[in-house]
Amino acid sequence: MSKSLVVDMVAEVNYPHDKMEGLWVIDDQRLGVLNDDDFATWSTEGQLEQKMLDANTVDGGRLFIIEADLSTD
């Protein structure tokens, strides 16, 4: 078994999340990626609050469809 980098999510789409929750090959040209939004909440010192990526962006679930060469040739 070998492996190779197909796409750098940070470089390709400026992926802002902590981790990827779902990853699947749609076909030989597209890859689907879902982020893990942890229910878009966060706890700070025991207080539940809205999880934010930055001051204006809620860390909610998001689907990314990435164009990539996934052929096995």
pLDDT tens readout for residues 6-63: 888 888 888 877 778 888 889 989 999 988 666 677 788 888 888 777 788 777 778 8
What is the amino acid identity at position 62?
R
Is the pTM higher than 0.95? The answer reads: no
Select from 50, 49, 72 the least CA-distant residue to 60: 50
Q: CA dist 50 to 2, 27, 43, 44, Å?
A: 41, 35, 9, 10
Q: Is 30 helix (H, G, I), strand (E, B) or coil?
A: strand
Q: Please state, in angstroms and rounded to a whole number, the distance separating the CA atoms of residues 41 and 53.
A: 11
CA 9 to chain centre: 7
